[in-house]
Amino acid sequence: MKILAAMSGGVDSAVAAARAVEAGHDVVGVHLALSRMPGTLRTGSRGCCTIEDSMDARRVCDQLGIPFYVWDFSERFKEDVVDDFISEYEHGRTPNPCMRCNEKIKFAALLEKAVALGFDAVVTGHYAKVISDEAGNRELHRAATWAKDQSYVLGVLTHEQLKHAWFPLADTPSKDEVRAEAARRGFSVAKKPDSYDICFIPEGDTRAWLDEHIEMTPGQIKDTEGHVLGQHPGAQAFTVGQRKGLAIGRPAPDGKPRFVLEVRPKTNEVIVGSKELLAVDEIRGIRCTWAGLPIAEVAQFLAEEPRAGAQSAEFEITAQVRAHADPVASTAHMEWVIDDESPEEGALRLEMVVAVHEALRGVAPGQTLVIYQGTRVLGQATINRAYSLARADINA
């Protein structure tokens, strides 16, 4: 096969590319340039897709004897990831830019260009598995090693994208083994630290960065009964579950810490309360996608005429709301609802409704909800609302 290896400059993508070459495929390496101003991206161990990363990727390709290219996706990265990140915070949501980058850049823009150029598949260093069912339909599954599993951040992949995705590290038992293999191959990235945090925030201070990109307006901090407890410099700088930086000045009546329960951009309010009130019972997600073909309950529902209030049959799942969070047993269904944010009267939107069997804490609008059955990723949605039955003001 003709393979395009996405080379981040890290050890995982280096070993993935090497395994593709070793398997006898025609491999070409490509590094994505995501910024025209390298100083605006992280460097060193906290970085991703920087100049030093591109040089590391080039050295690996030279050692493998394969062509190497740098593709400039900086404009799409700004529009689809950075601008989206700003817009989500402006609307009081907490986005995951790495999910958006996987969705819009690494497995949309990159794959689209690769297929147009005649490549059969794109290889990355993600720890996840793509398998085919009896009918040959591709499914996304967790990696063999739970601790390194990255299927959550790949939950945005679609059925068509899975047809052209290959993850050679799927069955690798540990990162140590990957590093050992890189060392045996003589790769200089064998001991390179993993990248983490948000690549386009150079200093790692998200709140300071947002201050420069969003117009902040001071407003009120309230409890769930509507009492004003203090002032905030801008609601967009807060996220659900946050404890530090509230500066309320006086303790709660019971002396326990307060946490951000909700950010309300329309009224510019931050709602706070006890840790117990962070627990949610129901999550509603929008912008749903399916990793592979939808399961029968969903496929049948999607084939029907949309109408307000229509619901699919319920199905049992596990739900995961963060990359390294434990999945929680839940029941889900799909539902058509009136889209109150659409300018078109009577417009409908599809929502994924998940009732969790054990309470989840710190669930914020804008986060990604990924649902599973066993090891299989069914799909994902962007969290629009999370409800707690313990809160009297949840419909306020």
Pair 226, 292 in one domain: no
Give me the pLDDT at residue 395, please. 46
92 neighbors 99 (Cβ within 8 angstroms): no
Q: How many CB atoms lie within 10 A of CB 214?
A: 15
Residue 173 lies in a domain: yes
Give me the pLDDT at residue 36, please. 63
Pair 285, 271 in one domain: no
Residue 114 lies in a domain: yes
Is this structure's pTM higher than 0.75?
yes
Pair 92, 152 in one domain: yes
Domain range for 292: 279-387
Q: How many CB atoms lie within 10 A of CB 147?
A: 10
Share of the chain above pLDDT 90, in %: 58
Pair 111, 224 in one domain: no
State how many domains the chain has. Answer: 3
Range with the lowest mean pLDDT among 46-55, 207-216, 254-263, 270-279? 46-55
Pair 138, 98 in one domain: yes
Q: pLDDT averaged over the chain?
A: 89
Which one-letter amino acid corresponds to residue 358?
E
Pair 359, 266 in one domain: no
Pair 166, 240 in one domain: no
pLDDT classification of 394: cutoffs 50, 70, 90: low
Pair 265, 142 in one domain: no
Residue 395 lies in a domain: no
Residue 197 lies in a domain: no
Q: Which residues are catalytic?
A: 101, 199
Q: Is the pLDDT of residue 122 over 90?
A: yes
Pair 134, 253 in one domain: no
Range with the lowest mean pLDDT among 112-121, 215-224, 368-377? 215-224
Pair 155, 222 in one domain: no
CATH for 288? 2.40.30.10
Over its C-alpha atoms, the chain yields an Rg (Å, rounded) of 22
Rounded CA-CA distance 59/187 in Å is 8
Residue 311 lies in a domain: yes
Rounded CA-CA distance 336/326 in Å is 29
Mean pLDDT across 288-296: 94
pLDDT classification of 21: cutoffs 50, 70, 90: very high
Q: For every residue of 26-73, which 3-state class applies, written as one string? A: EEEEEEEECCCCHHHCCCHHHCCCCHHHHHHHHHHHHHHCCCEEEEEC
